[in-house]
Structure 1
Amino acid sequence: MSDGPALRLDGVSKVYGRNGSAVRALDGVSVAIPRGSFTAVMGPSGSGKSTFLHCAAGLDRATSGTAWLGSTEVSGLSERRATELRRERVGFVFQAFNLVPALTVRHNVELPLRLAGRRIDRRRVDEVLARVGLLEKRDVRPAQLSGGQQQRVAVARALITRPDVIFGDEPTGALDTMTAKSVLELLRGIVGDGGQTVVMVTHDPVAASYADTVLFLADGRLVGELAEPTAERVADRMTRLGAWA
């Protein structure tokens, strides 16, 4: 692991389709995200938020420009190598919890290790489950948990491989306000206490206020950032972007 940024995009553009039907989802985005930071990515619908996350995480390949995860350029990797990189060095938390219903909490958390062919360290699994407050639920199945508990299992699963970056795509989008608050506090804690790097796409100014920095996208371009955000300042900036006009 190097001392540079956890994540870097240099002039990244992503075009879907071609010729007359081409859509430029990202347009020359450059940004460096420091290690041990919590970054929220916001913008109006269609601004390129999900494409930003997909290109940064190696889920999608940039049309031009380069994306780096630590010292590894992800934009030039083969599909097989990109898959290996995601398994080893990236964690994901989505709006849909994406847990395997037939597996217990413990086995859901162990899944990334099994997929990567890595040894299962039971103490590490217990430690991560304790971190998300679910150690006593390790032998139950997802259907026996609340939505908030299921999302905490998803966070534990994202943490288990000690990834360079955890990407959240609307991780609190399906949760009620109080439950969302507990998940956001958990994400804030793994950055503050654990030195983890979290990058979260959200449309919610309250969720964004838990981050250190908010990046704003509009029409595929990076149009601003806000340090030490509050929900009010984020909402004001989003209104000026025309997000809720």
Structure 2
Amino acid sequence: MFRRHDGPAAGHSAEALRLVSLHKTYGSPADGTEVKALDGVSLSLPAGSFTAVMGPSGSGKSTLLQCAAGLDRPSAGLVVVDGAELTAGGEAELTRFRRRRIGFVFQQFNLLPTLTVLENVTLPLRLAGAKVSRARAVAILERVGLGGRLRHLPAQLSGGQQQRVAIARALVTEPSVIFADEPTGALDTRSAREVLGLLRQSVAEYGRTVVMVTHDPVAASWADQVLFLADGRLVGRIPEPTAEAVAERMAHLGDLYETAVA
């Protein structure tokens, strides 16, 4: 069973995500292949917040997201999502937890091509064995501007529309945290802005917590704060970010890393 780490609120924790000294190592020191993807990352994110995670290629961004979302097991450390310790349960229990409490939005949409828009959105409920409310799914699709596309297949939609379907799919289970991995990476500027607005809306109107990995300073500026990774370590933070401030900080990440490890 997962261990509970309850905050002050009953039922749901006021702390949406906590990582404590998270390490992830690939390879082996014995043969010289060891790589430290995460090197002691600790953070706490409140419920109802939007956080962007940035860093150069190989900094550990995607590994951080995968470990925090329960898609990969850390080598050491603690992961707590909505008061439940993910590192304490077995694989079957972890899968059930992800289906109920965690939403995902990926760069490549990950929609099933043979299912309609509505069927793609309700799929997480079916997989979780939960009651499927067609009315709720339709209402969410209407909120993301796709109320007239319920019977369309993914191939009949633009990239931006497919990503909106993915966001609706992430919202339908009423998750505690939505993890988004480069959600605007495959989109044009207008579609990217619409998708970021929907993620922002999921925080403001639905009270969700969003953690987004991105390489784009403009995308990061939609978040409440930006966290910076370098060589598997947290090396900086900007609250209330602007695109200009984020770009400037990214240009000096090497200096920040040297300061952090000194």
Aligned to 2:7: none
- CA distance in structure 2 between the partners assigned to 1:15 and 1:242 by the alignment: 21
How far does residue 166 in structure 1 lie from its aligned partner after superposition? 0.4
Identity %: 62
Shift of 1:242: 4.5
SS in 2 for 1:33: strand
Check the 8 A contact 2:23/2:39 in 1, yes or no. Answer: yes
> Structure 2 stretches of 5 or more lacking a match?
1-10, 256-262
Q: Distance in 1 between matches of 2:13 and 2:93?
A: 23
- Which of 15, 30, 46 matches 2:25? 15
Name 1:170's counterpart in structure 2: 182
**What is the CA–CA distance in structure 2 between the aligned matches of 1:79 and 1:88, rounded to whole Å?**
14
Corresponding letter in the other structure for 1:4: A
Cα distance in 1 between the residues matched to 2:81 and 2:13? 12
Show the counterpart of 1:204. Answer: 216
The residue aligned with 1:153 is 165
Shift of 1:77: 1.9
Tell me how far apart the structure 2 counterparts of residues 3 and 119 of structure 1 sit (CA, whole Å): 24
Preserved CA contact (<8 Å) 2:13 2:83: no
Alignment of 1:40-51 (within 5 A): 40-51=52-63
Query: For residues 189 and 120 of structure 1, what CA distance do their matches in structure 2 show?
Result: 23
2:114 maps to 102
Q: Distance in 1 between matches of 2:185 and 2:36?
A: 26
Measured in 2, the distance between the counterparts of 1:28 and 1:142 equals 40
Provide the TM-score with structure 2 as the length reference: 0.91
- After superposition, give the CA deviation of every residue in 1:189-219 in whole Å (9 maximum; x if it has no partner): 1111221110000000000000001010000
2:138 corresponds to which letter in structure 1?
D
Alignment match, 2:225: 213
Measured in 1, the distance between the counterparts of 2:79 and 2:135 equals 34
3-state SS of paired residue (2:247):
helix
Amino acid at match of 1:14: K
1:239 paired to 2:239 = no
What's 1:120 paired with?
A: 132
Alignment partners' CA distance in 2, 1:3 and 1:99: 31
Q: TM-score, normalised by structure 1?
A: 0.97
Moved over 3 A (4+): none
CA RMSD across the alignment: 1.1
Matches for 1:20-99 after TM superposition, within 5 Å: 20-99=32-111
| Contact residue 44 and residue 242 of structure 1 kept, 8 A | no
Distance 2:147 2:140 in 1: 8
Q: What is the aligned residue count?
A: 243
Q: State the SS of the aligned residue for 1:119.
A: coil
Give the gaps of 5 or more residues in structure 1: none
Residue in 2 that maps onto 1:6: 16
Distance (Å, rounded) in 2 between the aligned partners of 1:103 and 1:210: 31
| Maintained 8 Å contact 1:55/1:75 | no
Q: Which digits, 9 at most, give the CA deviation of each residue in 1:24-49, with x for residues without a partner? A: 10010000011000000000110000
Partner Cα separation in structure 1 for residue 173 and residue 215 of structure 2 = 28
CA distance in 2, matches of 1:154, 1:242: 35
